[in-house]
Chains A and B, each alone.
Chain A
Amino acid sequence: MTHIIYSGKRLPSQVENNFQELFLKATRKQVKAFPYTARITRSQPTAFVFLLDQSGSMGDLVEVQGKRLSKAEFLSTTINQLLNEIIDRCKKGTEIRDYFHICLIGYGGDSENTAKILWQGNLSNKTFVTPTELIHNYLDTETIEVESRRPNGTIQKIPKKIYRWIAPQASHRTPMRDAFLLARDILVQWVSQYSQSYPPMVINISDGAATDTTREELLQVAQEIQSLATEDGNALIFNIQVSDKTQEAIYFPCKKEELPQDEWVHLLFDMSSDLPENYNQSIAQFTGRDLMGSYTALVVNAPLSKLISLLNIGTNTQTLVAKAE
C-alpha cells in the first residue's frame, strides 16, 4: 500500500500547511446516488479505525464468560480476535487479499492528554496496516485447538494459529477527543487517496466519558469525520459504550427517545452515524428487530461478552468480502 504521508504523532493538521485544503477536498466529494455499494478490491480497499479507551478505569476487573480479568485485557483480546478474523476473511486460496486497511488508536494508556497509534515493532511507524502486514508482524503467536465439525457430524480438533498485536493498557484519564482528532487527520488523507472506496468506519470503544474536551468540541470533531467522504459515501462513526454493570444494553437505537436520560449517552447518539441499510440484516439477526429499521451506530451499556459480535456488525466484513474482487 502507499503510505500515508506522516506517521506517529506528527499530525498533518499540525505540520501540513495544506491540511485545510486537503480537508475541504475530502469533504466535498460528489457522493453517488446509491452510496455504500462500492465493491471492495485490493486497489479499492476500505478502512477501519478503532479508537480504544485505555484509561485507568479500563483496569477494573470484571467477570466475563466465567473469566475474571480487567476490561483492558478483555478489550485487547477482543481486538486481537477481530484482527485474526479479518485476516481469515481475506484468505483466498493460498494468498491474503488486502481488502482492509486497519488503524488502532489508543487513548489514555501512557498519556494523560494524547492519543496514539498502537502498532508496535515493525509496524510502529505505520498508520494503516494491511492484513498481509499484520500476518507478518505481530507481538506473539500461539497455536490453539479449535473444534470443527465434519459433514458426518463428528467433531475433530484442528490447530489454529492465533496472532496478537496489542497488549492491554489502563492508566490515566480519557483523552477521547484527541483520538477522534487523530482519526480525522489520518482519514483526511485516506479518503483523498482512496476516493472511490467503500467509506471508512471509525469504531470507538470506551467505558466512560471524555476528559479532554467539551461537548461542543467533541461533537464538532465527530461531525468533521462524518463529513469526510469517498464517492461511495461519508465516513461512519460507531460508538460502543461498554459496561460491566447490569444496566440494560441498548443496541442500535432508531431514536434518541430509546436512550436513558443521560447527557453523555445523548452526546454519543449525536456523534454516531445513521447506518446504511446494508448493515440491517446483521443488526436484525443480532437484535431480533425489524429488517427495515433505520439504525444508529451506537450501543450503550454493551456487555463485554457481546463485543466481538458488535465489532463484526460494525466492520461488516462478511458482506463486504462476499462481493469483493
Chain B
Amino acid sequence: MKVQAQSIARFGEQENEDSFKVQENERVFLLADGAGGLGLFAREWAEWLTQQIPPTGSREGFLQFLWEQKVSFYEQREKFLQNNSVYEDFADKFFLEGSASTLLVADGRKEGKIKLISYGDSGIFLYKRRSKELITNLQLSHFVELPVLINCLDKDLQEEYLFWQEVEWCEGDCLLLVSDALAQYFRLVYAFERQERDFLEALKKPKTAISAKVAAMEAQNHVEWHFEVILQELEEVLQDTKSFRDYCYFLWKGNFLEYDDYTAILVRK
C-alpha cells in the first residue's frame, strides 16, 4: 500500500485550517477541514477531530463519539477563553457561532473492505481500478447548498447528512481524501469524464463561483478529463510539498480551484 499526503495553507496565509492523520499501519485515514468563516477556532477544532480514531462500528456509535468530542472541545475552549484576556472582544463569537469543521474517515482495517465516512463537504473518493467506477460522498447538493458542518455548539448532528458506506477494497483501487476545494475539482473531473450532463448543467445554471469553475474546465477543449490521469498527476506532486503547492497554485490560477487551504491523502492499494 502506498500512502501519500500533503496539506498547505491558502496562498498568502500562514494558518492552515485543515488537519489530517494517517495511521498507515492501522489503515485508517482522517481529514478535517476547519471552516474559518464561522465562529472561532476552526483550526483547533479540525485538529481535535483528527486526534483520535473514531469508532466506526455503527453510525450511532460514530455520532455519539462526535457528540462527546463537541462537548469536550467546547469545555476546553471555554476554559481557554477564561484564561486569555487577549480574546476578550472575540469570545462572544465562539459562544454564539461555535467552531465548525468537516470530517472524513476512511477505515480499511477489515480485510478486503473499506468504510467511507463523511460529514460535510470535504471529499472522499474510492476509484475502482477495474470498473473505473467512482464511489464518493459528493452529490450535487454539496455544490449548490450551504455546507453542513460539525459545529461544536450544535446539540445534535443530523444523521441524514452522514455519508456512510462500506465497500470492497481491491488491489489497485485508489482512495482519495481531499478538503473541499480539491474535492470539487476532482468531482468535476469525473463528471466531465463521464459526461454527466445533468449534473454539469445544474452547476452551470446559477452564475456562482462553481459555475465559473465548470466553464473554465469546459473551455479546455484540448484537455480530455480523465480521473485516472488526474490521480496520477496528483500522485506525482504529492511527493513533496513544493510540487503540491505549485500544482494547487496552477489549478487556482486557472480558475479550476476555489481559494482555500488544500489537503490531500492518496492511498493506492
Chain A positions near chain B (C-beta within 8 angstroms):
33-37, 39, 88, 91-94, 135, 146, 148-153, 156, 158-161, 276-278, 280-281, 292, 318, 321-325
Chain A nearest CB from B87 CB (Å) reads 6
For residue B112, CB closer than 8 A to chain A, the reply is no
Find out whether the CB atom of A292 lies under 8 angstroms from the CB atom of B37: no
Are A37 and B209 touching (Cβ within 8 A)?
yes
A-B contact pairs, 15 of them (CB 8 A): A33-B215, A34-B215, A36-B207, A93-B90, A94-B86, A148-B92, A277-B207, A278-B207, A281-B145, A321-B37, A322-B35, A322-B37, A323-B37, A323-B209, A325-B12
Q: Find out whether the CB atom of B37 lies under 8 angstroms from the CB atom of A324.
A: yes
7 cross-chain pairs, A with B, having the tightest CB-CB distances, nearest first: A322-B37, A34-B212, A148-B95, A277-B206, A160-B92, A151-B70, A158-B95
Contacts of A278 in B (CB 8 A): 206-208
CA distance A151 to B40 in the complex (A): 15
- Decide if A277 touches B208 in the complex (CB within 8 Å): yes
Give, as a whole number of angstroms, the nearest-CB distance from A84 to chain B.
10
Return A163 CB to nearest CB of chain B, in Å: 10
> Of the candidates B145, B153, B208, which one forms a contact with A151 in the assembled complex, judged by CB atoms under 8 Å apart?
B153
Least distance between A275 CB and chain B CB atoms (Å): 11
Closest Cβ of chain B to A319, distance in Å, is 8
A37 touches B208 (CB 8 A): yes
Q: Which residues of chain A are near B35, meaning CB under 8 Å?
A: 322
Contact A325/B215 with A34-B207, A149-B153, A276-B207 known, Cβ cut-off 8 Å: no
What separation, in Å, do the CA atoms of A160 and B90 have in the docked complex? 9
4 A-B pairs besides A93-B40, A149-B155 with CB distance below 8 A are A151-B67, A151-B74, A161-B92, A318-B37
Residue pair A88, B206 in contact (C-beta under 8 Å): no
Smallest beta-carbon distance A85→chain B, Å: 11
B10 lies within 8 A of chain A by Cβ: yes
Please pick, from A37, A94, A149, A158, the residue contacting B207 in the complex, using a CB distance under 8 A.
Answer: A37
CA of A146 to CA of B209, assembled, Å = 35
B205 at the interface (CB under 8 A from A): yes
Residue of chain A at shortest CB distance from B209: A37
| Residue numbers in B under 8 Å from A149 (CB-CB) | 153, 155
In B62-114, the 8 Å CB interface with A consists of 67, 70-71, 74, 86-87, 89-93, 95-96
Q: Which of B74, B89, B145, B154 counts the most A-chain CB atoms under 10 A from its CB?
A: B89
Determine whether B54 belongs to the interface, using a CB cutoff of 8 Å to chain A. Answer: no
Q: Are B155 and A151 within 8 A (Cβ)? A: yes
- B93 CB contact (under 8 Å) in A91, A135, A151, A276: A91
Knowing A94-B90, A277-B206, A324-B37, say if A150 contacts B259 (CB, 8 Å).
no
Number of A-B contacts (CB under 8 A): 84
For the residues of B in contact with A, the DSSP-based class is loop
Cβ–Cβ contact B91 & A158, under 8 A: yes
Inter-subunit contact B71/A152 (CB<8 Å): yes
Residues of A within 8 A of B207 (CB): 34-37, 276-278
CA distance A325 to B13 in the complex (A): 8
Report the bound CA distance from A280 to B131 in whole Å: 39
Bound together, the chains give a CA A156 to CA B258 distance in angstroms of 38
Closest chain-A Cβ to B10's Cβ sits at a distance in Å of: 7
Known: A146-B96, A151-B71. Is A91-B152 also a contact (CB below 8 A)? no
Q: Which residues of A contact B13 (CB under 8 A)?
A: 325
- Give CA–CA (A39, B208) in the complex, Å: 11
Closest partner residue, chain A, to B39 (CB atom): A91
- Which residue of chain A lies nearest to B41 when distances are taken between CB atoms in the complex? A93
Closest A residue, CB atoms, query B71: A151
Q: Are A39 and B87 in contact (CB under 8 A)?
A: no
Contacts of A94 in B (CB 8 A): 86-87, 90
Asked if A158 meets B87 with Cβ closer than 8 Å, knowing A91-B40, A277-B207, the reply is: no
CA–CA, A135 and B4, complex, Å: 45
Say if the beta carbon of B56 comes within 8 Å of chain A. no
A151 touches B259 (CB 8 A): no
0/1 interface trace, chain B 1-19, chain A, CB 8 Å (1 if under): 0000000001011010000
Question: B residues 174-221 with Cβ under 8 Å of A?
Answer: 205-209, 211-212, 215
Q: Is the CB of A91 within 8 A of B90?
A: yes
Closest A residue, CB atoms, query B36: A92
CB proximity of B65 to chain A, nearest CB, Å: 14
Complex interface: chain B residues within 8 A of A135 (CB): 89
A325-B37 contact in complex given A34-B211, A37-B212, A158-B91, C-beta closer than 8 Å: no
- Which A residue's beta carbon lies closest to that of B74? A151
What are the interface flags for B23-43 relative to A under an 8 Å C-beta threshold, 1 for contact and 0 otherwise?
000000000000111101000
A150–B12 CB distance below 8 A: no
Chain A residue numbers with a CB within 8 Å of B70 are: 151
Interface-central residue, B12, B208, B211, by most chain A CB under 10 Å? B208
Q: CA–CA, A278 to B212, complex, Å? A: 13
Residues of A within 8 A of B96 (CB): 146, 148, 158, 160
Task: Report the separation of the CA atoms of residues A281 and B67 in the bound assembly, to the nearest whole angstrom.
Answer: 29
Say yes or no: B209 contacts A159, CB within 8 Å: no
What is the distance, in angstroms, from A18's C-beta to the closest C-beta of chain B?
A: 34
| Residues of chain B from 239 to 263 with CB closer than 8 A to chain A in the complex | 258-259
Residue B229 CB within 8 A of the other chain: no
